[in-house]
Structure 1
């Protein structure tokens, strides 16, 4: 028998902290301006067409601009980019966030971070509200990948650098 007792928010957050996730800076540029935020709630959906989902809190400072712009770039961070993750995840003013990296752009115009292990330049094709967040379904229109850098992982409320496997 399943109980109808709701799970406490703290219990859920503590359990979710145990799940490791890649660290990303999600950026957007368009009529609503340039914005960005740190995210771990990103995953692939399908490869036909190449699609990701990105979860974005509706109270986030980047929310309105991302939704209005309708485009974004998921920049998957290398282990050397932890300080950028912290800047984009905090209360750092937007202009200062972008001062810490080298940026270019691809098809959508969203900022693409040089040195990231992968960059997924996307257009938002669907959004669904779930609780406090929007789940953004994003179709990749351009991708860059630098496979020679180790990735950055976030688990147990701390950053961890991944290492590359030895190549034969």
Structure 2
């Protein structure tokens, strides 16, 4: 057990255990540009604002893809469906595939930025990086959303909760306009 503590005697392990109970969508983050094509699995993605459309991505600073992502200046958040769990593992590094080999496991296209967009993702957010803050072990990346790709089929999402993947059993209700 990790005994390092933070304010109020909260240990690193207690914090991690608490965060494991905060379910989140599973995403494959992709990018292409001057630093080359890259991709990784992330659940730390959330909306910041709809005016202008902005989202936030957190990425471990020790990741070999951290600096190249920032150099590319663009990325896509591809939210996975329940039947795409294998891509979550692949882009998390399970199987030790190279970046080109990871991309061979699915079909891709592009939208506004040229970042790879996963065909049949539940939703894809094509983004341009606006600012980056370094906080603790992670880079907090604020990005403008330039385009959104929605899956035309009734895809069910994939979430990470309790340190495991869970396929959602039903698609969310779509609000009427």
Q: Aligned pair 1:152/2:155, yes or no?
A: no
Query: What TM-score, normalized to structure 1?
Result: 0.93
Deviation at 1:146, TM superposition (A): 1.5
Provide the TM-score with structure 2 as the length reference: 0.88
- 1:127 is the counterpart of 2:127: no
Q: Is the 2:155–2:171 contact (alpha carbons within 8 Å) kept by the matching residues of 1?
A: no
Shift of residue 64, structure 1, vs aligned partner: 1.4
| Structure 1 runs not aligned, ≥5 long | none
* More strand per residue: 1
1:158 Cα shift? 0.6
Given candidates 93, 96, 105, the residue that maps to 2:98 is 93
Aligned: 1:66 with 2:72: no
The list of structure 1 runs, each at least 4 consecutive aligned residues, that deviate by more than 3 angstroms after superposition, is 3-6
Q: Which residue of 1 aligns with 2:3?
A: none
Supply the distance in 2 between the matched residues of 1:165 and 1:29 (Cα, whole angstroms). 30
1:15 aligned residue: 18
Distance 1:111 1:78 in 2: 17
What is the total number of aligned residue pairs between the two structures?
165
Shift of 1:86: 0.4
Task: Give me the whole-angstrom Cα distance separating, in 1, the residues matched to 2:37 and 2:129.
Answer: 16
SS at match of 2:37: strand
Q: For the residues of structure 1 that align with 2:130 and 2:110, how far apart are their CA atoms?
A: 20
Deviations 1:109-161 (A, max 9, x none): 10000010100000000111110111000111111111610000110011111
